Each structure stands twice: as C-alpha cells, then as structure tokens.
Amino acid sequence: MLLILLFTLILINGALFYVSLNIIIPIVVTIISIMVFIFFTYFFRISNRILIADDNYVIAPADGTIVAIEPVMEDKFFHEERMQVSIFMSVFNVHANWYPISGKILHVSHQNGRKMAAYLPKSSAENERSSVIIEAKNGQKILVRQVAGALARRIVTYAKEGMECHLNQQLGFIKFGSRVDMYLPMDAEILIDLHEDTVGNETIIAKLKHHSAEN
C-alpha cells in the first residue's frame, strides 16, 4: 500500500510541476504530500517484538489504552458471563495485532456494522468487527475481537479455523483508530488496570487458571 501511495503522490506532484503556471502551488502540494507519506509510513509501521512467556499468560494483542475491564454476558458465542478487557488504539498507535495466547483457532467470523468511535462501549457490539476464538493449551477458550472505529475502513485478520497460533505471531491489522476486545474466563487473574497503556505482544493482561484440556 505504501508503494502505491508513493507512486500516486509522485504522479500528482510531477503533473502539477509540469502544468502549473504558479510554482507556489506545486511546492505547497509537495510539502503536504511529504507530510501525508510520513504519516502513513508512521501509521503502518510494524514493530519486531519477541516475547517469551508462560502459556497461561494472556498478552496484550495491541498497543493502546485499557478502556474496559468488566464482567459482561457474552451471548454471541459462549452464552455465559465473561471478563471483558478492551484496548483502544488511537491513530498514533501501531495498528498491528498479535495473538494474545498460544493455542488453536476454533472460530473466525466477520460482521459488518457501524462506524462509531471505538472507545464507546457500544462499538463492541455494533461496529464492524472480526471475532476469533482461541483454545489455549490448558483447554480454556478466549474470544479476541477486532473492532473498527470511526476512521477504520478495513480489518485484516490472518486467523483461519483449525490453525495453531502462537505468541509473537500477528493476528491481523486494523487500519486507523480502532479497538481490540478480549473475553476471558471469569476466573482469569487480571494483571492490568483501567486506563493503563499497553504494548502489543509485551504487556501482560491476565493469567489463566490451570485447567486440564479435558475440562
């Protein structure tokens, strides 16, 4: 995408310098084009992060700020009470998403929806979103949901049903301000506070209780 943007900006600026009678106009447009390209390069940056952690720890799937830690009734998939932990990503955060835990992908789905601000609680249920259910190695299941925000125009999800996923592996990408929700078992030990900043694939969110895979 960055190469397409760069090529487009070069064509636009080249054409302006060729046809414009006023040199000020193409110079101004060039300066704006450089600023736009720098912003998009900054926005689409992907940090190379490697984390070694116990399989029972849930790691932040995204950079951002914790905007919700609360028990909710998850009616779509689990039909039971779950602990929701939500991370809001501003346009200045890295928007790559990581798997929060190693395990097996049981479900992947995408729902179209509204484009309200991602920090609003209703965005989890009403905005465009992709849902991924992961069965951890101890048998517990968590739901990770990528939620588009007011500016987001595309959610990319790499997960496929039946595949194995691992920490340090990217789950996907959300373009522009958005959020990621996690629905954890109620007995998970939450290790982060509301309004705390997170670093994707680094910040520890919670620790799952030891359950056998048969449970």
Cβ–Cβ under 8 Å, residues 132 and 111: no
Cβ–Cβ under 8 Å, residues 194 and 69: yes
Which one from 102, 109, 178, 212 is the annotated catalytic residue? 178
178 counts as catalytic? yes
Query: How long is the chain?
Result: 215
Cβ–Cβ under 8 Å, residues 140 and 208: yes
Cβ–Cβ under 8 Å, residues 214 and 139: yes
Known catalytic residues are 178
